[in-house]
Structure 1
């Protein structure tokens, strides 16, 4: 209720601003994520976040009386399909802007569709560093609302070194995401004069990594980093349990997928991962969002809180941007507004004050991420001091 009153008040406040046009014509938001296939767990979580934000905005009048319409497409986590549906939304459906992509490889295949047509793209989930590096920010129409992999890999390696571990094994899938993560980890390890004692590569869909885990154990690894997505991280967890391997288990944010403890069993206990949002009873805004999200989801499983929350924030942030552009949705107008946000957006993940600039299209900096851990089937703050500080807003370092 408190959140709804705040949203209504915000709508009335913005309604006093001059606008270019007010009509019943919907604001059409393109939405692309994997709604089927092996990545559906976080694709459908992102969808639920986008749907909830759209529902809430429409319940208080949309954008100055114009309803928000989510035009959804399923990329199936297949790069060629991602490009195909991107072309459909931009060229045929002519949506006003697009919020899209969970998988780095799918995003990279489709980016030129948005860039070539000066169509604004907000990436809410995919974290591959190349997504926002493919085009110089000053000319790019691609923005991101997730923590890129260079931040995550640096963060994980720093924690490993802080604990005194010097022997690290890396497991990475054969996608662009896994390849990029492996290179990032190797680079940050090298800065500490370390290199992996074992590297395992595998295809998505792998069912057994017991031999690879046994090899890492034989190499004397004290810590294992897995750079892949949820189902394959669950396979790593099962292999960890099968080999009775007690090395610390680290991963980027996909290690937080619900599928990891659900199918990874005991091997997931104690696994540590990068997070931008962790349930926290002291944070009223966050817990209210989680409750509303669960009501909206009903019986649908929530594979990833992060995917849902970051996508929810992306939709609400773009509504704020539209008020700043007086309803103009050309790529240039939206790009200018995002790079020069006039009013902070208090999101459920964090407060975005100046998330972007003409030289930086990534909304997160290193100080805005946490180390989470699976404990008894729930994600918690790994460090008690982080839990104590979680109520303090972490703003982007400029």
Structure 2
């Protein structure tokens, strides 16, 4: 009798032990990578993206997480360097075992790094990088499925908007392009030239500059001598400020219209009054014109003790990326990469973000959540970006 009792007790203890192990496994956090430039000239967009992501994760975790589990961010600084981005991707996949990653602020880093996620069948949500090719790097027929998604406005959208603003609305016919030498700048330049060609216009000057260049006099003089009425830009904040300051130096004042980084804090602050009037496409402007946006802006200001976000666009796009991933995991009932990808491509429930409410934002063949109608033109005015009138 004692023997039977011991058997029952042992069996019960073993059962409870197994239940405990199962519960512990189920309660393990869901690891999500966050990679971007948290230092250097691209830091405003990387830090803002990361901080927007952290706000979203905190909101979701406070409400119980996803699938009964908390979200856990694994942060890595890719330093805006392609080789570092590759290293970070491999570390997040192989060592940290992330189930998804939000990141890539730089087009070149994205193109060099995201192939590792594609091979591992782990979804990536590009939240800042805008190169048109990014979400098309792994499409059919070479690839059956594509694991690369995006919540930023791609350069096809932006270049058309820039040209529509300069040529269509403002009626300029003599246009100069200044673009940096990175993948981002050079791909953007080609997109601009194509958008101009569609309107029958050839630029009077197309000039290139390098990161960390502090003197744009030569490039600006060529644009000025060509009779340019407007300068179109594709670059990052610090060098864009050198363009604005260089125009003041040679006593040449024409409008600057360019891609979204003209809204970055390190353009606005370094250019000062010379940056006023610069125009750019924006998915999000720091304006609490809806309850969701007002709450988001207030939470960001309180959490990070700032008035103006270093890059409001990046913060909002990072925030929304997490909510889209969370919705996909909830719908899929799992964090399994292929099933999360399938859910992202067919989200059944609208997802409320700060940029928009996303209603079926992706399909199998379209992994860009941001559509042209979601993007507005912003303008720098007195140290802030406001909606252009």
TM-score (norm 2): 0.90
Shift of 1:109: 0.4
Partner Cα distance (1:106, 1:272) in 2: 26
Partner Cα distance (2:373, 2:336) in 1: 33
Q: Is the 8 A contact 1:356 1:363 kept in 2?
A: yes
Alignment match, 1:354: 360
SS for the counterpart of 2:242 is helix
Alignment match, 1:200: 207
Alignment match, 1:153: 159
The answer to whether 1:263 aligns with 2:270 is yes
Partner Cα distance (1:170, 1:143) in 2: 29
Alignment match, 2:53: 50
Q: Write the mapping of 1:321-336 to structure 2, written as runs, cut at 5 A.
A: 321-326=328-333, 328-336=334-342
SS for the counterpart of 2:233 is strand
The answer to whether 1:231 aligns with 2:234 is no
Match of 2:171 among 140, 164, 167: 164
Partner Cα distance (2:151, 2:288) in 1: 24
Q: Is the 8 A contact 1:237 1:266 kept in 2?
A: no
Alignment match, 1:86: 89
Q: Mark the structure with the bigger radius of gyration.
A: 2
Partner Cα distance (2:68, 2:25) in 1: 7
Alignment match, 2:112: 109
* CA deviation profile, 1:256-302 (whole Å, cap 9, x unmatched): 00111211122201000010012334312112111101111125973
Alignment match, 1:186: 193
SS for the counterpart of 1:129 is coil
Q: Is the 8 A contact 1:241 1:266 kept in 2?
A: no
Partner Cα distance (2:154, 2:356) in 1: 16
Partner Cα distance (2:145, 2:67) in 1: 30
Shift of 1:110: 0.7
5+ residue gaps, structure 1, are 1-19, 384-398
SS for the counterpart of 1:93 is coil
Total equivalences in the alignment: 363
The CA RMSD over aligned residues, in Å, is 1.7
SS for the counterpart of 2:257 is strand
Partner Cα distance (1:349, 1:21) in 2: 37
Alignment match, 2:261: 254
The answer to whether 1:34 aligns with 2:15 is no
The answer to whether 1:306 aligns with 2:313 is yes
* CA deviation profile, 1:190-219 (whole Å, cap 9, x unmatched): 111111101110111111112321221121
Partner Cα distance (2:205, 2:133) in 1: 25
* CA deviation profile, 1:164-206 (whole Å, cap 9, x unmatched): 1110000011110011011011111111111110111011111
Shift of 1:242: 1.7
Alignment match, 2:371: 365
Partner Cα distance (2:307, 2:72) in 1: 21
5+ residue gaps, structure 2, are 1-22
Match of 2:348 among 320, 326, 342: 342
Alignment match, 2:19: none
Partner Cα distance (2:125, 2:150) in 1: 5
Q: 187-196 vs 78-87, which deviates more?
A: 187-196
Match of 2:327 among 320, 330, 341: 320
Partner Cα distance (1:140, 1:333) in 2: 12
Alignment match, 2:101: 98
SS for the counterpart of 1:170 is strand
Q: Is the 8 A contact 1:253 1:275 kept in 2?
A: yes
Q: Is the 8 A contact 2:273 2:382 kept in 1?
A: no
